[in-house]
A and B are shown apart, each in its own frame.
Chain A
Amino acid sequence: MAEYINVGSVDEIDEGDAIVVDKEQTGAEDDIAIFHAEDGNFYALNDTCTHETASLADGWIEGTEVECPVHSAKFCLKAGTALCMPATIDAKTHKVEVVDGEVHLYPSVPATQA
Protein backbone atom coordinates (compact mmCIF):
# COMPACT_ATOMS: atom_id res chain seq x y z
CA MET A 1 0.00 0.00 0.00
CA ALA A 2 1.25 3.43 -0.97
CA GLU A 3 2.29 6.01 1.60
CA TYR A 4 -0.24 8.56 2.72
CA ILE A 5 0.03 11.98 4.34
CA ASN A 6 -2.29 12.90 7.17
CA VAL A 7 -3.44 16.39 6.19
CA GLY A 8 -5.58 16.98 9.27
CA SER A 9 -8.94 16.18 10.74
CA VAL A 10 -12.20 16.50 8.80
CA ASP A 11 -13.22 19.44 11.02
CA GLU A 12 -10.37 21.51 9.65
CA ILE A 13 -11.84 21.76 6.17
CA ASP A 14 -15.38 23.17 6.06
CA GLU A 15 -17.81 21.76 3.54
CA GLY A 16 -17.52 23.77 0.34
CA ASP A 17 -13.94 24.67 1.17
CA ALA A 18 -10.54 23.41 0.09
CA ILE A 19 -6.94 23.38 1.27
CA VAL A 20 -3.68 23.18 -0.65
CA VAL A 21 -0.89 20.73 0.14
CA ASP A 22 2.44 22.00 -1.14
CA LYS A 23 4.32 19.88 -3.67
CA GLU A 24 7.44 20.23 -1.49
CA GLN A 25 5.59 18.20 1.09
CA THR A 26 4.19 15.53 -1.24
CA GLY A 27 6.90 15.23 -3.85
CA ALA A 28 4.13 15.33 -6.45
CA GLU A 29 4.42 17.27 -9.74
CA ASP A 30 2.01 20.02 -8.56
CA ASP A 31 0.44 21.35 -5.40
CA ILE A 32 -2.60 19.26 -4.48
CA ALA A 33 -5.99 20.73 -3.65
CA ILE A 34 -8.16 18.77 -1.23
CA PHE A 35 -11.85 19.62 -1.51
CA HIS A 36 -14.62 19.00 1.00
CA ALA A 37 -17.45 18.55 -1.47
CA GLU A 38 -21.15 19.12 -0.90
CA ASP A 39 -21.76 15.35 -0.85
CA GLY A 40 -19.73 15.32 2.37
CA ASN A 41 -16.77 13.49 0.81
CA PHE A 42 -13.19 14.61 0.32
CA TYR A 43 -11.52 14.68 -3.09
CA ALA A 44 -8.11 15.76 -4.35
CA LEU A 45 -6.95 17.20 -7.69
CA ASN A 46 -3.81 18.88 -8.94
CA ASP A 47 -4.32 22.45 -7.71
CA THR A 48 -3.32 24.22 -10.92
CA CYS A 49 -6.07 24.48 -13.49
CA THR A 50 -5.25 22.60 -16.70
CA HIS A 51 -6.20 25.67 -18.74
CA GLU A 52 -4.18 28.58 -17.30
CA THR A 53 -2.42 29.41 -14.05
CA ALA A 54 -5.08 29.38 -11.35
CA SER A 55 -5.60 27.61 -8.04
CA LEU A 56 -8.61 25.30 -8.14
CA ALA A 57 -8.66 25.38 -4.34
CA ASP A 58 -9.72 29.03 -4.72
CA GLY A 59 -12.59 27.94 -6.95
CA TRP A 60 -16.28 27.44 -6.29
CA ILE A 61 -17.38 23.99 -5.15
CA GLU A 62 -20.83 23.00 -6.32
CA GLY A 63 -22.02 19.45 -5.63
CA THR A 64 -19.08 17.31 -6.67
CA GLU A 65 -17.67 19.81 -9.16
CA VAL A 66 -15.25 22.68 -8.85
CA GLU A 67 -15.40 25.80 -10.98
CA CYS A 68 -12.09 27.53 -11.62
CA PRO A 69 -12.17 31.04 -10.13
CA VAL A 70 -10.41 32.57 -13.12
CA HIS A 71 -12.04 31.40 -16.36
CA SER A 72 -14.93 29.31 -15.05
CA ALA A 73 -13.77 25.93 -16.36
CA LYS A 74 -15.41 23.10 -14.39
CA PHE A 75 -13.92 19.81 -13.27
CA CYS A 76 -15.44 16.69 -11.80
CA LEU A 77 -13.97 16.27 -8.32
CA LYS A 78 -14.34 12.47 -8.47
CA ALA A 79 -12.65 11.77 -11.81
CA GLY A 80 -10.93 15.09 -12.67
CA THR A 81 -12.82 15.26 -15.96
CA ALA A 82 -12.79 18.68 -17.66
CA LEU A 83 -16.52 19.40 -17.94
CA CYS A 84 -16.55 22.58 -20.01
CA MET A 85 -14.54 25.10 -22.01
CA PRO A 86 -12.10 26.71 -21.75
CA ALA A 87 -10.53 23.61 -20.12
CA THR A 88 -9.93 20.75 -22.52
CA ILE A 89 -7.51 18.64 -20.45
CA ASP A 90 -8.65 16.60 -17.44
CA ALA A 91 -7.24 17.35 -14.00
CA LYS A 92 -5.15 14.70 -12.24
CA THR A 93 -6.84 13.06 -9.27
CA HIS A 94 -5.26 11.83 -6.05
CA LYS A 95 -6.65 9.25 -3.70
CA VAL A 96 -8.12 10.50 -0.41
CA GLU A 97 -9.37 8.40 2.49
CA VAL A 98 -11.00 9.43 5.73
CA VAL A 99 -9.88 7.22 8.62
CA ASP A 100 -11.10 7.90 12.16
CA GLY A 101 -11.93 11.48 11.28
CA GLU A 102 -8.49 12.09 9.76
CA VAL A 103 -8.01 12.98 6.09
CA HIS A 104 -5.37 10.84 4.42
CA LEU A 105 -3.93 11.92 1.07
CA TYR A 106 -2.14 9.47 -1.23
CA PRO A 107 -0.13 11.79 -3.49
CA SER A 108 0.11 10.70 -7.12
CA VAL A 109 -2.13 7.68 -6.54
CA PRO A 110 -5.14 8.17 -8.83
CA ALA A 111 -8.48 8.23 -7.06
CA THR A 112 -9.86 5.48 -9.26
CA GLN A 113 -7.40 2.98 -7.73
CA ALA A 114 -8.97 3.43 -4.32
Chain B
Amino acid sequence: MTTSQVPEASTCAPTPPVGQLPRPKEMTQMLDVSSLVDADGGLIERSIYNDERIYKQEMARIFARSWLFLAHRSQFKKPGDFFTTYMGEDPIIVTMDKKKNIRAYLNSCRHRGVRVCRADAGSTKMFTCTYHGWAYNLDGELQTIPNQQAYPDDWNPKDWGLVEVPNVQEYKGLIFGNWDADAMSLSDSLGDDMKYYLDAFIDRDPEGTEVLGGVMKWTLDGNWKLAAEQFATDWYHVNMSHASALMVLSPTGKGPKPEIASTPGRQFTSEHGHGAGFPTHPKSRFDAQTVHEYYDYDFLRERLGDDRVEGPMTTGHATIFPSFSYLPVNGSIRIWHPKGPNKMEVWAWVLVDKSMPEDVKNAQRLYNLRTFGPSGIFEADDGENWSEIQAISEGFITNNTSLNFQMGIGNEHEDGTYPGTTSELYSDAAGRGFYRQWTKLMNTPAWHETKTRPAADKEEN
Protein backbone atom coordinates (compact mmCIF):
# COMPACT_ATOMS: atom_id res chain seq x y z
CA MET B 1 0.00 0.00 0.00
CA THR B 2 1.27 3.45 -0.84
CA THR B 3 0.23 6.98 -0.09
CA SER B 4 -2.79 7.74 -2.18
CA GLN B 5 -3.52 11.29 -3.09
CA VAL B 6 -7.03 12.53 -3.57
CA PRO B 7 -7.08 14.10 -7.04
CA GLU B 8 -6.33 17.79 -7.11
CA ALA B 9 -9.45 19.84 -6.46
CA SER B 10 -10.84 21.59 -9.51
CA THR B 11 -10.95 25.35 -9.59
CA CYS B 12 -14.72 25.65 -9.78
CA ALA B 13 -14.93 27.71 -6.61
CA PRO B 14 -12.79 30.71 -7.46
CA THR B 15 -13.17 32.37 -4.09
CA PRO B 16 -9.99 32.39 -2.06
CA PRO B 17 -10.52 31.49 1.59
CA VAL B 18 -9.75 34.95 2.90
CA GLY B 19 -9.52 38.53 2.02
CA GLN B 20 -12.06 40.11 -0.34
CA LEU B 21 -12.25 42.94 2.13
CA PRO B 22 -8.86 43.23 3.81
CA ARG B 23 -8.88 43.72 7.55
CA PRO B 24 -7.04 46.59 9.18
CA LYS B 25 -3.67 45.65 10.67
CA GLU B 26 -4.81 46.36 14.23
CA MET B 27 -7.35 43.54 13.94
CA THR B 28 -4.78 40.97 12.92
CA GLN B 29 -1.97 41.86 15.30
CA MET B 30 0.03 38.76 16.26
CA LEU B 31 1.87 38.04 19.49
CA ASP B 32 5.46 36.86 19.73
CA VAL B 33 5.08 33.66 21.77
CA SER B 34 8.75 32.76 22.00
CA SER B 35 8.99 33.68 25.69
CA LEU B 36 5.96 31.51 26.56
CA VAL B 37 7.52 28.21 25.54
CA ASP B 38 10.99 27.02 26.47
CA ALA B 39 10.96 23.74 24.57
CA ASP B 40 14.62 22.94 25.23
CA GLY B 41 14.40 23.77 28.93
CA GLY B 42 11.00 22.10 29.32
CA LEU B 43 8.97 25.06 30.61
CA ILE B 44 5.52 26.13 29.45
CA GLU B 45 3.81 29.38 30.40
CA ARG B 46 0.26 28.57 31.43
CA SER B 47 -1.45 31.39 29.56
CA ILE B 48 -1.10 29.45 26.30
CA TYR B 49 -4.04 27.37 27.57
CA ASN B 50 -6.50 30.14 28.31
CA ASP B 51 -5.51 33.42 26.67
CA GLU B 52 -8.04 34.68 24.10
CA ARG B 53 -5.40 36.31 21.89
CA ILE B 54 -3.29 33.18 21.84
CA TYR B 55 -6.37 31.20 20.90
CA LYS B 56 -7.25 33.53 18.02
CA GLN B 57 -3.66 33.33 16.80
CA GLU B 58 -3.85 29.52 16.89
CA MET B 59 -6.88 29.69 14.58
CA ALA B 60 -4.90 31.83 12.11
CA ARG B 61 -1.46 30.29 12.37
CA ILE B 62 -2.01 26.67 13.46
CA PHE B 63 -5.44 25.56 12.24
CA ALA B 64 -5.51 27.64 9.02
CA ARG B 65 -2.25 26.07 7.82
CA SER B 66 -1.83 22.56 9.29
CA TRP B 67 -3.05 19.20 8.02
CA LEU B 68 -6.29 18.57 9.91
CA PHE B 69 -8.09 15.25 9.95
CA LEU B 70 -11.42 15.50 8.12
CA ALA B 71 -12.89 12.02 7.83
CA HIS B 72 -12.20 8.40 6.98
CA ARG B 73 -12.49 7.19 3.39
CA SER B 74 -15.01 4.50 4.41
CA GLN B 75 -17.53 7.22 5.31
CA PHE B 76 -18.05 7.92 1.58
CA LYS B 77 -19.42 5.29 -0.75
CA LYS B 78 -21.33 7.12 -3.46
CA PRO B 79 -21.51 10.65 -4.87
CA GLY B 80 -23.41 12.96 -2.57
CA ASP B 81 -22.39 11.18 0.64
CA PHE B 82 -21.31 13.89 3.04
CA PHE B 83 -19.95 14.39 6.54
CA THR B 84 -19.82 17.71 8.38
CA THR B 85 -16.96 18.60 10.68
CA TYR B 86 -14.69 21.47 11.66
CA MET B 87 -11.21 22.68 10.81
CA GLY B 88 -10.37 24.64 13.93
CA GLU B 89 -13.67 26.44 14.44
CA ASP B 90 -14.47 26.63 10.72
CA PRO B 91 -17.46 24.45 9.78
CA ILE B 92 -16.64 22.08 6.94
CA ILE B 93 -18.61 19.85 4.57
CA VAL B 94 -16.68 16.83 3.31
CA THR B 95 -18.38 15.15 0.37
CA MET B 96 -17.86 12.85 -2.59
CA ASP B 97 -18.47 14.59 -5.91
CA LYS B 98 -19.88 13.00 -9.06
CA LYS B 99 -16.39 11.95 -10.17
CA LYS B 100 -15.95 10.28 -6.76
CA ASN B 101 -13.31 12.75 -5.62
CA ILE B 102 -13.40 13.77 -1.97
CA ARG B 103 -13.96 17.52 -1.72
CA ALA B 104 -14.19 19.81 1.29
CA TYR B 105 -16.00 23.13 1.50
CA LEU B 106 -16.53 25.82 4.06
CA ASN B 107 -20.03 25.14 5.38
CA SER B 108 -21.23 28.72 5.14
CA CYS B 109 -23.50 30.31 2.57
CA ARG B 110 -21.83 33.05 0.50
CA HIS B 111 -24.94 35.21 0.89
CA ARG B 112 -25.54 35.69 4.62
CA GLY B 113 -23.22 33.00 5.99
CA VAL B 114 -25.65 30.40 7.34
CA ARG B 115 -24.48 26.78 7.30
CA VAL B 116 -25.71 25.22 4.08
CA CYS B 117 -25.67 21.73 5.60
CA ARG B 118 -27.06 21.20 9.07
CA ALA B 119 -26.92 17.42 9.25
CA ASP B 120 -24.02 15.47 10.80
CA ALA B 121 -23.79 13.08 7.86
CA GLY B 122 -25.93 11.70 5.06
CA SER B 123 -26.43 11.77 1.34
CA THR B 124 -27.60 14.68 -0.79
CA LYS B 125 -27.72 16.10 -4.28
CA MET B 126 -27.43 19.70 -3.26
CA PHE B 127 -26.48 21.88 -0.30
CA THR B 128 -29.28 24.40 0.04
CA CYS B 129 -29.24 27.25 2.52
CA THR B 130 -32.32 27.26 4.73
CA TYR B 131 -32.32 31.05 5.01
CA HIS B 132 -32.96 32.27 1.44
CA GLY B 133 -32.46 29.15 -0.64
CA TRP B 134 -29.07 29.64 -2.29
CA ALA B 135 -28.28 26.14 -3.54
CA TYR B 136 -24.85 24.64 -4.19
CA ASN B 137 -24.08 21.43 -6.07
CA LEU B 138 -21.52 18.77 -5.14
CA ASP B 139 -18.83 20.78 -6.98
CA GLY B 140 -19.54 23.69 -4.64
CA GLU B 141 -20.99 25.75 -7.49
CA LEU B 142 -23.90 28.06 -6.83
CA GLN B 143 -26.45 26.31 -9.00
CA THR B 144 -29.54 28.40 -8.44
CA ILE B 145 -30.89 31.19 -6.28
CA PRO B 146 -34.46 32.35 -5.88
CA ASN B 147 -35.31 35.70 -7.54
CA GLN B 148 -32.02 36.01 -9.44
CA GLN B 149 -33.52 38.64 -11.79
CA ALA B 150 -33.25 41.16 -8.97
CA TYR B 151 -29.44 41.08 -9.09
CA PRO B 152 -27.43 43.26 -11.50
CA ASP B 153 -27.21 41.98 -15.11
CA ASP B 154 -23.50 41.25 -14.84
CA TRP B 155 -23.93 39.33 -11.58
CA ASN B 156 -22.51 35.84 -12.05
CA PRO B 157 -23.44 32.94 -9.76
CA LYS B 158 -20.07 31.38 -10.70
CA ASP B 159 -18.38 34.00 -8.55
CA TRP B 160 -20.33 32.86 -5.49
CA GLY B 161 -19.52 29.17 -5.09
CA LEU B 162 -18.75 27.67 -1.70
CA VAL B 163 -15.24 28.38 -0.46
CA GLU B 164 -13.30 25.19 -1.10
CA VAL B 165 -10.53 23.72 1.03
CA PRO B 166 -7.75 23.88 -1.57
CA ASN B 167 -5.70 20.98 -0.30
CA VAL B 168 -7.25 17.59 0.51
CA GLN B 169 -4.98 14.54 0.74
CA GLU B 170 -5.29 11.00 2.01
CA TYR B 171 -3.01 8.58 3.76
CA LYS B 172 -4.29 5.00 3.88
CA GLY B 173 -7.92 5.96 4.36
CA LEU B 174 -7.29 8.95 6.61
CA ILE B 175 -8.40 12.11 4.79
CA PHE B 176 -6.84 15.41 5.84
CA GLY B 177 -7.46 18.97 4.68
CA ASN B 178 -5.23 22.02 4.71
CA TRP B 179 -6.21 25.62 3.95
CA ASP B 180 -2.70 26.27 2.68
CA ALA B 181 -2.66 25.41 -1.02
CA ASP B 182 1.15 25.35 -0.95
CA ALA B 183 1.55 23.39 2.26
CA MET B 184 4.13 20.61 2.49
CA SER B 185 2.36 17.44 1.34
CA LEU B 186 0.58 15.31 3.94
CA SER B 187 3.00 12.51 3.17
CA ASP B 188 6.05 14.71 3.81
CA SER B 189 4.44 16.23 6.87
CA LEU B 190 3.97 12.79 8.41
CA GLY B 191 7.43 11.75 7.27
CA ASP B 192 8.66 8.16 7.00
CA ASP B 193 9.12 7.89 10.76
CA MET B 194 5.58 8.92 11.78
CA LYS B 195 4.24 6.66 9.01
CA TYR B 196 6.18 3.75 10.51
CA TYR B 197 4.35 4.18 13.82
CA LEU B 198 0.99 4.97 12.24
CA ASP B 199 1.18 1.95 9.93
CA ALA B 200 1.54 -0.29 12.97
CA PHE B 201 -2.08 0.67 13.62
CA ILE B 202 -3.69 1.22 10.21
CA ASP B 203 -1.73 -1.12 7.96
CA ARG B 204 -2.04 -4.47 9.71
CA ASP B 205 -4.67 -5.57 7.22
CA PRO B 206 -3.86 -5.59 3.47
CA GLU B 207 -7.51 -4.61 2.94
CA GLY B 208 -7.07 -1.50 5.08
CA THR B 209 -9.37 -0.09 7.72
CA GLU B 210 -12.91 1.20 8.09
CA VAL B 211 -14.83 3.12 10.73
CA LEU B 212 -17.69 1.46 12.56
CA GLY B 213 -20.95 3.33 12.99
CA GLY B 214 -21.02 7.05 13.63
CA VAL B 215 -18.92 9.51 15.58
CA MET B 216 -19.03 9.77 19.36
CA LYS B 217 -18.96 13.43 20.37
CA TRP B 218 -18.61 15.01 23.79
CA THR B 219 -17.50 18.33 25.19
CA LEU B 220 -14.94 18.88 27.91
CA ASP B 221 -13.82 21.93 29.84
CA GLY B 222 -10.17 22.21 28.91
CA ASN B 223 -7.94 23.65 26.22
CA TRP B 224 -7.53 21.43 23.15
CA LYS B 225 -3.75 21.25 23.61
CA LEU B 226 -4.07 19.50 26.97
CA ALA B 227 -5.50 16.47 25.18
CA ALA B 228 -3.36 16.68 22.03
CA GLU B 229 -0.17 16.99 24.06
CA GLN B 230 -1.09 14.12 26.38
CA PHE B 231 -1.70 11.74 23.48
CA ALA B 232 1.62 12.79 21.96
CA THR B 233 3.79 12.39 25.00
CA ASP B 234 2.22 11.13 28.17
CA TRP B 235 2.56 7.54 29.33
CA TYR B 236 3.61 8.94 32.71
CA HIS B 237 0.01 9.49 33.87
CA VAL B 238 -1.13 5.94 33.17
CA ASN B 239 -0.30 4.24 36.47
CA MET B 240 -1.56 7.16 38.53
CA SER B 241 -4.59 8.53 36.67
CA HIS B 242 -5.82 5.15 35.51
CA ALA B 243 -4.99 3.17 38.67
CA SER B 244 -8.55 2.00 39.25
CA ALA B 245 -9.10 1.10 35.61
CA LEU B 246 -5.86 -0.90 35.52
CA MET B 247 -6.90 -2.77 38.65
CA VAL B 248 -10.31 -3.60 37.20
CA LEU B 249 -8.74 -4.91 34.01
CA SER B 250 -5.98 -6.96 35.62
CA PRO B 251 -6.62 -10.67 36.18
CA THR B 252 -5.83 -10.42 39.91
CA GLY B 253 -7.78 -7.22 40.46
CA LYS B 254 -4.67 -5.75 42.08
CA GLY B 255 -3.31 -4.03 39.00
CA PRO B 256 -0.33 -4.80 36.79
CA LYS B 257 2.86 -6.38 38.13
CA PRO B 258 5.78 -4.03 38.88
CA GLU B 259 7.72 -4.94 35.73
CA ILE B 260 4.69 -4.08 33.60
CA ALA B 261 3.84 -0.90 35.50
CA SER B 262 7.42 0.28 34.99
CA THR B 263 7.56 -1.11 31.46
CA PRO B 264 10.37 -0.13 29.14
CA GLY B 265 9.32 1.50 25.91
CA ARG B 266 10.06 4.27 23.49
CA GLN B 267 8.61 7.68 22.82
CA PHE B 268 8.96 9.20 19.36
CA THR B 269 9.11 12.92 18.68
CA SER B 270 8.79 14.27 15.14
CA GLU B 271 10.36 17.44 13.79
CA HIS B 272 6.81 18.38 12.70
CA GLY B 273 5.34 18.14 16.18
CA HIS B 274 3.85 14.64 16.01
CA GLY B 275 4.47 12.23 18.87
CA ALA B 276 3.92 8.57 19.73
CA GLY B 277 4.78 6.37 22.68
CA PHE B 278 4.52 2.65 23.32
CA PRO B 279 5.59 0.08 25.91
CA THR B 280 7.82 -2.77 24.76
CA HIS B 281 7.36 -5.23 27.63
CA PRO B 282 5.61 -8.23 26.03
CA LYS B 283 2.95 -8.34 28.75
CA SER B 284 2.30 -4.61 28.83
CA ARG B 285 -0.74 -4.76 26.65
CA PHE B 286 -4.42 -4.63 27.43
CA ASP B 287 -6.12 -5.33 24.14
CA ALA B 288 -9.49 -7.03 23.91
CA GLN B 289 -9.15 -10.81 24.14
CA THR B 290 -11.31 -11.50 21.08
CA VAL B 291 -9.18 -9.14 19.01
CA HIS B 292 -5.95 -10.56 20.38
CA GLU B 293 -7.02 -14.09 19.51
CA TYR B 294 -8.11 -13.04 16.02
CA TYR B 295 -4.71 -11.75 14.97
CA ASP B 296 -2.24 -13.99 13.17
CA TYR B 297 0.95 -12.76 14.82
CA ASP B 298 3.25 -14.65 12.43
CA PHE B 299 1.63 -12.82 9.54
CA LEU B 300 1.92 -9.51 11.36
CA ARG B 301 5.59 -10.08 12.21
CA GLU B 302 6.19 -10.71 8.53
CA ARG B 303 4.20 -7.67 7.46
CA LEU B 304 5.24 -5.10 10.07
CA GLY B 305 8.48 -6.51 11.46
CA ASP B 306 9.15 -7.83 14.99
CA ASP B 307 9.96 -4.41 16.45
CA ARG B 308 6.67 -2.95 15.42
CA VAL B 309 4.66 -5.93 16.63
CA GLU B 310 6.47 -5.82 19.97
CA GLY B 311 6.06 -2.05 20.26
CA PRO B 312 3.66 0.36 18.60
CA MET B 313 1.25 -2.24 17.24
CA THR B 314 -0.69 -2.89 20.37
CA THR B 315 -0.70 -0.51 23.27
CA GLY B 316 0.37 3.07 22.96
CA HIS B 317 -0.73 6.56 22.05
CA ALA B 318 -0.05 9.15 19.37
CA THR B 319 -0.90 12.62 18.13
CA ILE B 320 -0.50 13.88 14.61
CA PHE B 321 0.07 17.58 15.07
CA PRO B 322 -1.99 19.49 15.90
CA SER B 323 -5.24 17.82 16.89
CA PHE B 324 -5.61 14.25 15.58
CA SER B 325 -4.85 11.41 17.99
CA TYR B 326 -5.24 7.66 18.12
CA LEU B 327 -4.96 4.60 20.32
CA PRO B 328 -4.06 1.34 18.57
CA VAL B 329 -5.24 -0.79 21.52
CA ASN B 330 -8.93 -0.14 20.97
CA GLY B 331 -9.00 1.40 17.50
CA SER B 332 -9.83 4.88 18.71
CA ILE B 333 -9.20 7.76 16.34
CA ARG B 334 -10.21 11.19 17.50
CA ILE B 335 -10.08 14.93 16.86
CA TRP B 336 -9.77 17.50 19.62
CA HIS B 337 -11.91 20.30 18.17
CA PRO B 338 -11.11 23.64 19.78
CA LYS B 339 -14.19 25.46 21.08
CA GLY B 340 -12.72 28.60 22.57
CA PRO B 341 -9.60 28.61 24.77
CA ASN B 342 -11.34 26.83 27.63
CA LYS B 343 -13.33 24.15 25.89
CA MET B 344 -12.90 21.30 23.46
CA GLU B 345 -15.19 18.89 21.68
CA VAL B 346 -13.90 15.34 21.34
CA TRP B 347 -14.96 13.48 18.19
CA ALA B 348 -14.06 9.81 18.32
CA TRP B 349 -14.50 6.97 15.84
CA VAL B 350 -13.90 3.25 16.20
CA LEU B 351 -11.47 2.12 13.50
CA VAL B 352 -11.17 -1.58 12.67
CA ASP B 353 -9.45 -3.74 10.09
CA LYS B 354 -11.75 -4.36 7.12
CA SER B 355 -11.06 -8.10 7.10
CA MET B 356 -12.11 -8.66 10.69
CA PRO B 357 -15.18 -10.87 11.03
CA GLU B 358 -18.26 -9.12 12.42
CA ASP B 359 -17.90 -10.60 15.90
CA VAL B 360 -14.31 -9.33 16.19
CA LYS B 361 -15.34 -5.89 14.99
CA ASN B 362 -18.10 -5.87 17.53
CA ALA B 363 -15.75 -6.98 20.30
CA GLN B 364 -13.42 -4.10 19.44
CA ARG B 365 -16.35 -1.68 19.39
CA LEU B 366 -17.50 -2.75 22.85
CA TYR B 367 -13.96 -2.69 24.20
CA ASN B 368 -13.52 0.80 22.78
CA LEU B 369 -16.68 2.01 24.51
CA ARG B 370 -15.71 0.39 27.77
CA THR B 371 -12.23 1.94 27.86
CA PHE B 372 -12.14 5.11 25.76
CA GLY B 373 -15.72 5.91 24.78
CA PRO B 374 -17.38 9.00 26.28
CA SER B 375 -18.07 7.07 29.48
CA GLY B 376 -15.03 4.79 29.18
CA ILE B 377 -13.19 3.95 32.38
CA PHE B 378 -9.94 5.47 31.06
CA GLU B 379 -11.44 8.37 29.12
CA ALA B 380 -13.23 9.75 32.18
CA ASP B 381 -9.94 9.83 34.12
CA ASP B 382 -8.24 11.92 31.43
CA GLY B 383 -11.08 14.37 30.95
CA GLU B 384 -11.21 15.00 34.68
CA ASN B 385 -7.53 15.96 34.76
CA TRP B 386 -7.75 18.31 31.79
CA SER B 387 -10.83 20.05 33.16
CA GLU B 388 -9.12 20.37 36.55
CA ILE B 389 -6.16 22.17 34.95
CA GLN B 390 -8.49 24.52 33.13
CA ALA B 391 -10.72 25.23 36.12
CA ILE B 392 -8.02 27.13 37.99
CA SER B 393 -6.23 28.77 35.11
CA GLU B 394 -7.83 32.19 35.60
CA GLY B 395 -5.94 32.60 38.88
CA PHE B 396 -3.36 35.34 38.34
CA ILE B 397 -0.56 33.72 40.30
CA THR B 398 -1.56 30.24 39.09
CA ASN B 399 -1.43 31.36 35.50
CA ASN B 400 1.96 33.00 35.93
CA THR B 401 3.52 29.82 37.26
CA SER B 402 5.29 27.82 34.57
CA LEU B 403 4.56 24.14 33.99
CA ASN B 404 7.18 21.40 33.91
CA PHE B 405 8.00 19.39 30.78
CA GLN B 406 11.50 18.33 31.82
CA MET B 407 11.25 14.54 32.01
CA GLY B 408 13.82 12.91 29.78
CA ILE B 409 15.60 16.10 28.77
CA GLY B 410 18.80 15.09 27.03
CA ASN B 411 17.92 11.44 26.45
CA GLU B 412 16.42 11.94 22.95
CA HIS B 413 18.46 10.06 20.36
CA GLU B 414 18.20 7.57 17.48
CA ASP B 415 18.23 4.12 19.06
CA GLY B 416 18.88 2.14 15.88
CA THR B 417 15.68 0.14 16.25
CA TYR B 418 12.77 2.56 16.24
CA PRO B 419 13.00 5.25 13.52
CA GLY B 420 13.41 8.95 14.16
CA THR B 421 14.26 10.65 17.41
CA THR B 422 13.07 8.66 20.41
CA SER B 423 13.48 8.77 24.17
CA GLU B 424 12.42 6.51 27.01
CA LEU B 425 8.67 5.83 27.17
CA TYR B 426 8.38 7.81 30.40
CA SER B 427 9.42 11.20 29.03
CA ASP B 428 8.13 14.61 27.93
CA ALA B 429 10.19 14.53 24.74
CA ALA B 430 7.21 14.50 22.36
CA GLY B 431 5.52 17.20 24.44
CA ARG B 432 8.57 19.40 23.99
CA GLY B 433 8.48 18.56 20.28
CA PHE B 434 4.77 19.39 20.10
CA TYR B 435 5.31 22.82 21.66
CA ARG B 436 8.45 23.46 19.60
CA GLN B 437 6.33 23.07 16.46
CA TRP B 438 3.50 25.09 18.02
CA THR B 439 5.87 27.96 18.77
CA LYS B 440 7.40 27.84 15.31
CA LEU B 441 4.01 28.09 13.59
CA MET B 442 2.68 30.71 16.02
CA ASN B 443 5.68 32.93 15.25
CA THR B 444 5.69 32.43 11.47
CA PRO B 445 3.26 34.38 9.28
CA ALA B 446 0.86 32.05 7.45
CA TRP B 447 -0.08 32.02 3.75
CA HIS B 448 -3.04 34.31 4.34
CA GLU B 449 -0.78 36.96 5.86
CA THR B 450 1.90 36.93 3.20
CA LYS B 451 0.01 36.56 -0.07
CA THR B 452 -1.29 39.53 -2.00
CA ARG B 453 -4.90 39.91 -1.21
CA PRO B 454 -7.33 39.58 -4.13
CA ALA B 455 -8.99 42.93 -3.42
CA ALA B 456 -5.63 44.63 -3.86
CA ASP B 457 -5.11 42.70 -7.09
CA LYS B 458 -8.38 43.98 -8.46
CA GLU B 459 -7.51 47.58 -7.72
CA GLU B 460 -4.21 47.25 -9.53
CA ASN B 461 -5.76 45.70 -12.64
Contacts and interface: CB of A to CB of B under 8 A. Distances in A.
B145 interface: yes
B250 interface: no
Contacts of B95: none
A60 to B, nearest CB: 8
Interface in A49-75: 51-54, 58-59, 69-72
A86 interface: yes
A34 B191 CA distance: 53
A46 to B, nearest CB: 16
B144 A52 contact: yes
A55 to B, nearest CB: 9
A102 to B, nearest CB: 28
Counting chain B CB atoms within 10 Å of each CB, the highest count among A52, A59, A72 belongs to A52
Interface stretch (B102-110, B125-133, B259-267, B307-315): B125-133
Interface in B361-408: none
Interface string B110-151: 000000000000001110100001010000000111100000
A74 B146 CA distance: 16
Nearest to B145: A52
Interface in A71-85: 71-72
Contacts of B143: 53-54, 70
B135 to A, nearest CB: 4
B146 A54 contact: no
Nearest to B123: A60
A53 B135 CA distance: 10
A19 to B, nearest CB: 15
A69 B126 CA distance: 6
Given A52-B133, A54-B135, A71 B146 contact: yes
Contact of B133 (A58, A59, A69, A71): A71
Contacts of A72: 128
A51 B124 CA distance: 19
Contacts of A70: 126, 128, 133, 135, 143-144
B144 A54 contact: yes
The binding surface of chain B is classed by DSSP as loop
Given A53-B143, A58-B125, A69-B126, A86 B133 contact: yes
A69 B144 CA distance: 11
Nearest to B129: A71
Contacts of A51: 146
A69 B146 contact: no
Interface string B78-97: 00000000000000000000
B145 A71 contact: no
Contacts of A54: 126, 135, 143-144
A59 B124 CA distance: 9
Contacts of A71: 128, 133, 135, 146
Given A70-B135, A71-B133, A86-B133, A52 B146 contact: yes
A12 B124 CA distance: 22
A58 B128 CA distance: 14
Contacts of A69: 124-126
A53 B128 CA distance: 13
Contacts of B124: 69
Contacts of B144: 52-54, 70
Contacts of B146: 51-52, 71, 86
Contacts of A52: 133, 135, 144-146
B129 to A, nearest CB: 10
A71 B125 CA distance: 11
Contacts of B128: 70-72
A58 B144 CA distance: 14
Interface in A81-101: 86
A12 to B, nearest CB: 19
A70 B146 CA distance: 10
A51 B126 CA distance: 16
Nearest to A69: B125
B111 to A, nearest CB: 14
A72 B124 CA distance: 12
A20 B143 CA distance: 18
A58 B98 CA distance: 13
Interface string A26-65: 0000000000000000000000000111100011000000
B322 to A, nearest CB: 37
A86 B124 CA distance: 19
A3 to B, nearest CB: 32
Contacts of A86: 133, 146
A80 to B, nearest CB: 20
5 contacts: A69-B124, A70-B128, A70-B135, A71-B146, A86-B146
Closest 4 CB pairs of A and B: A69-B125, A70-B135, A53-B144, A69-B126
Interface of B: 124-126, 128, 133, 135, 143-146
Interface of A: 51-54, 58-59, 69-72, 86
Given A52-B135, A69-B125, A69-B126, 6 more contacts: A54-B144, A58-B125, A58-B126, A70-B126, A70-B144, A86-B133
